[in-house]
Amino acid sequence: MEQFEQLLTCCVCLDRYRNPKLLPCQHSFCMEPCMDGLTDYVRRQVKCPECRAEHRIPYNGVQGFPTNVTLQRFLELHIEITGDLPDPTSGQVMERCNVCSEKSYCNVCMHCEKKICPDCKSAHMDILRREINRINNQIRRGVHRLHDILSVVEKNTQSLQNNCQSVSEEIDEVYRRLTKAVKDRTDHMRTEMDKYLTSEMKNLSTLKENLELEIANITSNSDLADKYMIESVEWEDCELMDTKEIFLKTVEFMRNFETETSDYSRRVRFSMACDPNQLVNNLCTYGDLHFIHPPSTTQSNALLQPAVSGIMRSKSDHRLATQFRQQQDAYNGDDEPLLGGRKFGERPKPTPEKHTSDSRYGYDADDQHYDSSRTGKNRFRSRFHRGHHEEEDETESRTVKTEKEKDKVTTTEDAAKGPLSGIFRILDSPRAMKRIQEADRGPREKKEPPKPVAPVVTQVKQVQIPTVTPPVRPKTARQQSEDEIERIKRENKTTAPSSSTESPLADRQSILKKTTPTASSIDENEVSQVPISDIEPQQTTTTNTAVTNNSTQKQSPVRSSSESSSTESTSDAGSTGPPSVKPAEIPPIRSRGAGSASTTSNTVSSPPTVTEEKKPFQSRFLQSRTTVTPPKKEETESSSEEESSEESESEEEAPKVKPVVSTPPVVTTPVRSATSGVTLRSNDTTSSSPRSGILKDSTTTENRRSLEESTLPSRSRYEAPTSTYSRTADKENDTSRYGTRTRSTAAYEPPEESRYGTSSGGSELSRSRSTHALKSRENSPDRGGPEENKEALSSWARYLKNKYGSRTSTKDSPREGYSASSSTTTPSASTYSSSAASSSSPSSASSTSASRRLSLGLPLRQANEMHSSDDDSKNLQSSLASPIQQQVVDTEDTNTKYCTPRTQYLQKRRQILQIGGRGSEPGKFTWPRGISANGPENIIAVADSSNHRVQVFDANGVYRFEFGTYGNGDGEFDCLAGVAINRIGQFIIADRYNHRIQVFDPAGRFLRAFGSQGTADGKFNYPWGITTDSMGFIYVTDKENHRIQVFQSDGTFVGKFGSYGSGEGQLEHPHYIAVSNTNRVIVSDSNNHRIQIFDVNGKVLSQIGSEGSQEGEFKFPRGVAVDDSGYISVADSGNNRIQIFSPDGSFLRAFGSWGSGESEFKGLEGVAIMSNGNILVCDRENHRVQIF
Amino acid sequence: MAALPRRIIKETQRLMQEPVPGISAVPDESNARYFHVIVTGPEDSPFEGGLFKLELFLPEDYPMSAPKVRFITKIYHPNIDRLGRICLDILKDKWSPALQIRTVLLSIQALLSAPNPDDPLANDVAELWKVNEAEAIRNAKEWTQRYAMEDN
């Protein structure tokens, strides 16, 4: 047998003969590739490898040699005997690969749509895999956007429900009032009516009685007179006299008696205050509902609407998207947008039988042509079918085919298709299932022994009705069933080896079909899964708000109707049972499906639902404050969410959720909101305030505070909403270390404020302020009062006002400060004090800065500080006037602890210390980028970019702690870049690849995050550098948007400046940013090779440098830092040096060169200046921080 | 680089599964076309008892062109020069795709048993072999002893 096989083996390729050609020497070789290789094309000869005989090649090439038919028969015989599968390549013809042009058995590659050899094809598939991975990474990075949107949608549903609830309640209330009023009035009028009627009736009846009596008397009198006033009767004269008198009286009475006999039919009239028709009309239209349809991409919308960028760009608005889908559906009866209507993994065209035994070249070529044209068309259609429905006119057979295909698709893949994007789960595709199954099969088969066949059906059934039998171990059940299927497969194989693959697949499909309905129901639950994280913070929120409500109730009778009604309505909203309440905690496992379905149903019906339904409290801005108190809970929450998104087991998560859900605060909420609801009603009736709810809000907080801080002198001059500000501003000034600017008892000047408020004047501003004040209060409950207030204060307008206010009113104290300092410093610039002792006390720092200026005799701020020139000119004057004083005090300060910054900088070149080295352990770095050293505690924070964490060191470079890991959740980073520490020690991080800013408390606990990818206000594209000013404003270099954005410390967008370009005020890839204490904003305009200096409004003050390597020139400057006296340090990354500039922009000194030694740099990033004047430099490629 | 042709894979498999007695050829870990070869000196030859290391490289168009083979162990042989290059017709013009690694190595082994001083590569050796075969054989034995035996 072996010899037989050997005879059937070509000695060149050592494979079974394929299309053996017989040479005249009677030796046979495969036609391809063996014979090809043997051909000497020049001499048109073939040399037999066996006998070395040379043969002329026939005219039509090696094909012209006769085929060894005998050998071929033997080959077939051999196949029959051994039962081997026929060689898959048999019958195929080798072609030149269209990529590497090697001869091989080529197949069409879907990647390049060429016929290429297997090697190139596998390479292409690798490329595809890598691309998929890369895109997948993008998706993973971007999917949080969808999650965000989802949560926003959830939030929107909530708020919509609340809104509708509150509105309908309002309507009810109005209805109640109206009906009550009508009823009251009606009742009143009725009783009036009755009363009137009875009294009138009484009157009339008495009148009637009287009259009757009168008439009776008179008639009797008359009768008597007729009868007896005749001669026959004797009457005495007086009697007659009296009778006459009586009769006269009667006549008189009858003549005079007149009672009100006017028309009693119209005695009572009902008249209406206004025209009844009109009233009815008014009632008919007593209210109107205004449905606000936000335009798709307005700015106001930006708050609510999801990020418009990247993935979602084309379909930013779900309304649009659904419209689009509908349109599409209307358009194409028989076409699917995704994959051009194919099923997943299907070849784009029905491949005609190519593996025919005879290989006529012409036929194949034809075939190929046919194929390629078909694919081309297919692609075209799939891409452009939206507009070109007319393209449909194709051959009948084709459309029929697609119809069929579509039918199939609907059964499996359509089940889970995303309604917005048309993306279905690849996992649902039978092909994909098969692949995955195949991949998983190996190990599992080894683990579990095959089970009897019978249970399959029952198990499948079990899986189908998971709700009935919750404790079924879904996992194993599934596995078993899979195993069974495989068993069947194997059995099929053994019995019918040729047609084995069909039936298991069909089985699988049928199972899939069965499971899909349940799976889709999971889907619905799944949608409602995310909100848990929303609800969770809400629980704590409610307590907070309840407290606030309480206090405001006590102190202010004026209640903002809008707010309280919303709280009230939300408390009621629980009964409506929003879908989001269900704590379905399902990982998006899909076609693993059946098993997880049962677990989900478990969780759905689990107790937590009940507790949760009580409190779907929700308010947009309240929510954001909750982040402080329950950080741990949130963490677990987010992590569980992550897990679920990573298709982990759902069983583990159910217990996790429960404790979170059943937190105590739940109970309090309904009560609270109920009370607030009561107050609402009473308020509503008692007082109808003309002010807007927002304003009221601010006043209430204001009132509250005024009670709390009643010891403070109140400023009656100011209107209520603003007094908060002025008082706290005052407070801040007291604690502020920058005497010059902030000592503002400035009169509040409305016009000035409105100048800086963007457009909407006072109410807008007051709102933002008040909300902010609220927030900051909630945010830092454990922090000291003044700091809190400081934070609460920071609003753009206030800040500016402070700055300007100082100019207008109070210059006394700063000038005093200056003169004082000038008297304590040495007059000569030549006094080089070697001690670089640090001046950590802020007040002394400011005095030093002044003294430095004085001692240098430099008009430091004069040139470039237009906005504070008033101040400075006076400073200058005082400095000019001071030499005498200085000389006087000269002796006192010879050993001054501050050397002049200029000399200090001039001496800089030697490295004092270095931190780090490559690594991911504490104290090591992988590409450190941003660095910050200001802040109250003299700590150094380094953005350890590729370790996705922030490391914090003390002033001596000793590692203290770190925070952050990789990810896009709260407190996680993706290649963070900039880091800043604000005055109260919070860390503000530019989370570069997550396109957001995160804020952490001084211990590194996550506080909040804001921003997402995009170009709108408050959105980022790779934010890089970040800094804060003394007022807590956050400045972010939005690198890929080529602009600077400014935010309040709570993340409220304040302003932006800069646009792409190289002109003045334009930026190209700005990297880092620093703000001096004179409010000069220094930006490293990296790709323009310059430093630009702006004022806080974005007006260009000056610029430094141009491209080059000379002194004062830059190549891709990156980090910038500014010290207290305005000296600017720049990390000139392209020249690998640090350059220092005087405050006026003149070059002072440069040091450093390329390398990895001391004072050498590779790839500079951020720089920072410590309060003692040391310069910190992030030396990226050396993975270290150097201190000079 | 393109993937390894089936023929090379087959040959390698066969070399591993059915090794030729007295010959071992192991592909390099990093390069499957490069083989570490050890050939035992044939019996009744001056190279008996020696283990001769060779390197064998299959060029890109193998089997259409011959493999490159070279002795690494020093050997005293008229058809093998100081650098280990081998004068063997099937490695040159007489190469045929029908030949394989094993046949080539067998041929080399045969060459050791039957030196051909008439077609010399190392002229001095060939000279001696022709003039004084006994001394040549003694030299060969000595070299075998010295280079092909001490380090195994």
Mean pLDDT lowest among A111-120, A128-137, A699-708, B59-68: A699-708
- Contact residues for A812 (Cβ-Cβ < 8 A; gap 6+): none
Dump pLDDT digits (tens) for A878-927: 434 333 343 433 333 333 344 466 777 777 777 888 888 888 888 889 88
**pTM for the full predicted model:** 0.32
pLDDT range class, residue A167, cuts 50, 70, 90: confident
pLDDT range class, residue A137, cuts 50, 70, 90: confident
Number of CB atoms found within 10 A of residue A732's CB: 23
Nearest to A826 by CA among A844, A849, A851: A851
Does the CB of A34 have a partner CB in chain B at under 8 Å?
yes
Q: What chain A residue is nearest to B3 in terms of C-alpha separation? A: A119
**Contact at CB, A15 and B63, closer than 8 angstroms:** no
pLDDT range class, residue A1155, cuts 50, 70, 90: confident
What 8-state DSSP symbol labels residue B41? P
Domain that holds residue B61: 6-148
Q: What chain B residue is nearest to A15 in terms of C-alpha separation? A: B7
Q: What local confidence, expressed as pLDDT, does residue B150 receive?
A: 66
Which chain B residues contact residue A11 at CB under 8 A?
A: 97-98
A1131 or A609, higher pLDDT = A1131
A1108 or A889, higher pLDDT = A1108
Phi and psi, residue A338, nearest 5°: -80, 135
Helix (H) or strand (E) holding B54: strand B51-57
Q: What local confidence, expressed as pLDDT, does residue A417 receive?
A: 65
Average pLDDT over all residues of chain A: 64
* Most confident of the ranges A385-394, A395-404, A874-883, A1168-1177: A1168-1177
Q: What local confidence, expressed as pLDDT, does residue B82 receive?
A: 86
**Contact at CB, A52 and B100, closer than 8 angstroms:** no
CB A45 within 8 A of CB A23: no
Helix (H) or strand (E) holding A118: helix A118-228
Mean pLDDT of the region A386-411: 42
Question: How many beta-carbon contacts under 8 Å exist across A and B?
Answer: 38
| pLDDT for residue B67 is more than 90 | yes
Dump pLDDT digits (tens) for A600-644: 333 333 344 333 334 444 434 444 343 333 444 444 344 444 444
- Which chain B residues have any C-beta within 8 angstroms of a chain A C-beta? 2-3, 6-7, 10-11, 61, 63-64, 94, 96-100
Distance CA A704, CA A553 (A): 10
**Contact at CB, B97 and A14, closer than 8 angstroms:** no
Q: What local confidence, expressed as pLDDT, does residue A613 receive?
A: 39
Nearest to A694 by CA among A756, A766, A624, A618: A766
Return the HEC string of A597-627.
HHHHHHHHHCCHHHHHHCCCCCCHHHHHHHH
Tokens 């500079």 sit at which residue?
A1164
Q: What local confidence, expressed as pLDDT, does residue A872 receive?
A: 41
**Contact at CB, B10 and A15, closer than 8 angstroms:** yes
pLDDT range class, residue A871, cuts 50, 70, 90: very low
Q: What local confidence, expressed as pLDDT, does residue A693 receive?
A: 39
Tokens encoding B95:
């190469």
Q: Count of domains in chain B? A: 1
Nearest to A574 by CA among A625, A550, A539: A539
Whether residue B1 lies inside any domain: the answer is no
Q: What local confidence, expressed as pLDDT, does residue A89 receive?
A: 56
By DSSP bridging, strand A39-40 and strand A28-30 are unpaired
Does the CB of A889 have a partner CB in chain B at under 8 Å?
no
Say which of B15, B87, B88, B121 is annotated catalytic: B87
**Contact at CB, B94 and A34, closer than 8 angstroms:** no
Q: What local confidence, expressed as pLDDT, does residue A84 receive?
A: 62
**Contact at CB, B97 and A102, closer than 8 angstroms:** no
Q: What chain B residue is nearest to A50 in terms of C-alpha separation? A: B98
Nearest to A23 by CA among A5, A51, A48: A48
Angle at A1049 between CA A763 and CA A1092, to 5 degrees: 105
Grouping H, G, I as helix, E, B as strand and the rest as coil, residue A112 is: coil
Q: What local confidence, expressed as pLDDT, does residue A423 receive?
A: 73
User: Which among B6, B61, B99 has CB closest to A13?
Assistant: B6
| pLDDT for residue A396 is more than 80 | no
CATH, residue B17: 3.10.110.10
Per-residue DSSP letters for A359-417? --HHHHHHHHHHHHHHHHHHHHHHHHTTT-GGGG---HHHHHHHHHHHHHHHHHGGGG-
| pLDDT for residue B107 is more than 70 | yes
What 8-state DSSP symbol labels residue B145? I
Phi and psi, residue A243, nearest 5°: -60, -45
Distances from the Cα of A1165 to the Cα of A782, A964, A1136, angstroms = 35, 20, 10
The H helix count followed by the E strand count for chain B is 4, 4
Active site residue B127: no
Nearest to A584 by CA among A532, A520, A543: A532
Dump pLDDT digits (tens) for A473-492: 444 444 444 455 555 555 55
Does the CB of A54 have a partner CB in chain B at under 8 Å?
no
Preceding amide of A337 cis, omega within 30: no
Does the CB of A96 have a partner CB in chain B at under 8 Å?
no
Q: What local confidence, expressed as pLDDT, does residue B70 receive?
A: 92
CB B118 within 8 A of CB B49: no
Dump pLDDT digits (tens) for A806-853: 444 434 444 443 433 333 333 333 334 333 333 334 444 444 444 444
**Contact at CB, A11 and B98, closer than 8 angstroms:** yes
User: Which among A14, A37, A100 has CB closest to B64?
Assistant: A37
What 8-state DSSP symbol labels residue A304? H
pLDDT range class, residue A153, cuts 50, 70, 90: confident
Domains plus CATH for chain A? 2-93 (3.30.40.10), 317-352+373-424 (no CATH), 455-525 (no CATH), 527-682 (no CATH), 691-808 (no CATH), 812-904 (no CATH), 911-1187 (2.120.10.30)
Tokens encoding A90:
């048999």
Say if residue A635 is exposed, middle or buried (CB neighbours under 10 Å; 0-12, 13-18, 19+). middle
Share of chain A above pLDDT 90, in %: 7
Distance CA A22, CA A26 (A): 6
Q: Which amino acid is at A960?
A: R
Whether residue B52 lies inside any domain: the answer is yes
Q: How big is chain A by its Cα radius of gyration, in Å?
A: 45
Q: Which of B13, B96, B100, B102 to mutate to test the interface with A (most CBs of A within 10 A)?
A: B96
ipTM: 0.81
Whether residue B94 lies inside any domain: the answer is yes
Q: What local confidence, expressed as pLDDT, does residue B104 receive?
A: 92
pLDDT range class, residue A1082, cuts 50, 70, 90: very high
Tokens encoding A312:
């979602």
Q: What local confidence, expressed as pLDDT, does residue B94 receive?
A: 87
User: Which among A12, A37, A119 has CB closest to B2?
Assistant: A119
Does the CB of A49 have a partner CB in chain B at under 8 Å?
yes
Q: How big is chain B by its Cα radius of gyration, in Å?
A: 16
User: Which among B3, B11, B97 has CB closest to A49?
Assistant: B97
Q: What chain B residue is nearest to A11 in terms of C-alpha separation? A: B98
A502 or B108, higher pLDDT = B108
Helix (H) or strand (E) holding A837: none
Nearest to A486 by CA among A444, A426, A516: A444
| pLDDT for residue A162 is more than 80 | yes
Dump pLDDT digits (tens) for A540-595: 333 343 333 444 344 444 443 334 333 343 334 333 334 433 443 444 434 343 33
Whether residue B98 lies inside any domain: the answer is yes
CB A328 within 8 A of CB A391: no
How many angstroms separate the CA of residue B51 from the nearest CA in chain A? 30
- Contact residues for A714 (Cβ-Cβ < 8 A; gap 6+): A706, A723, A727
Whether residue B18 lies inside any domain: the answer is yes
| pLDDT for residue A466 is more than 90 | no
Q: Which of A9, A10, A14, A29 to mutate to test the interface with B (most CBs of B within 10 A)?
A: A14
Dump pLDDT digits (tens) for B23-32: 999 998 888 8
**Contact at CB, B64 and A15, closer than 8 angstroms:** no
Dump pLDDT digits (tens) for A924-937: 898 899 998 877 77
Which chain A residues contact residue B6 at CB under 8 A?
A: 13-15
